[in-house]
Amino acid sequence: MKKKELTYIKQQLQIQNVSEIGIHYISKGSKIQMATSATVYKRLFDWWNNTINITETFAVMLLNRINNEIGIFELSRGGISGTVTDVRLICAVALLSGASHIILAHNHPSGNLKPSETDIRITNKAKESLSIMDISLLDHLIISPEKDQYFSFTDNNLIEY
């Protein structure tokens, strides 16, 4: 083989190797216990940026054993009517952060708070996957751009324990 071909093969092998997996999220060290959907909603609404009424964003709130916030991780950002959410990434973020519990959240820029079939399917799949790792899915909130408008899966009996 020529030197040029060997160099190309080495580069391809290096691209395929994953040397380090990391997670980055911003936390202000919230000591407020996330005990109710209203408390979670207030924290998430404050966290959300000014695109809450423009693009759909999916986030994961990471909690310790006593339900204090470790951080909030933006998992994906999409278009006006949807975003891609991968349950494997939800699990990876929860594991890498050392979370004991998580709360899922996403916004509906339209203001419609009714969960879609996809929202319900992702929630159930995440709950099942996380339970294998002894991580609890406590809730999934759908947040409207309108203040004090949200839907809680737990409050509406869509997440069972």
For the stretch 15-57, pLDDT in tens is: 444 444 455 555 555 577 899 999 999 999 989 877 788 889 9
Domain membership flag for residue 8:
no
Residue for token digits 């924290």?
Answer: 43
Residue for token digits 């339900």?
Answer: 67
Residues 136 and 63: their CA atoms lie apart, in Å, by 10
Domain with 82 in it = 22-152
Q: Which residues contact 83 (CB under 8 A, 6 or more apart)?
A: 55, 56, 57, 58, 76, 77, 106
Q: Which helix (H) or strand (E) holds 11?
A: helix 3-16
Number of domains present in the structure of the chain: 1
Domain membership flag for residue 10:
no
Q: Which residues contact 138 (CB under 8 A, 6 or more apart)?
A: 34, 63, 67, 101, 102, 103, 154, 159
pLDDT over 90 at 135, yes or no: yes
In one-letter notation, the amino acid at residue 125 is K
Domain membership flag for residue 15:
no
Q: What is the pTM of this model?
A: 0.81
CATH of residue 137: 3.40.140.10
3-class secondary structure, 59: strand
Output the pLDDT for position 83. Answer: 87
Confidence of residue 73 (pLDDT cuts 50, 70, 90): very high
| Most distant CA pair in the chain, distance | 66
Domain membership flag for residue 17:
no
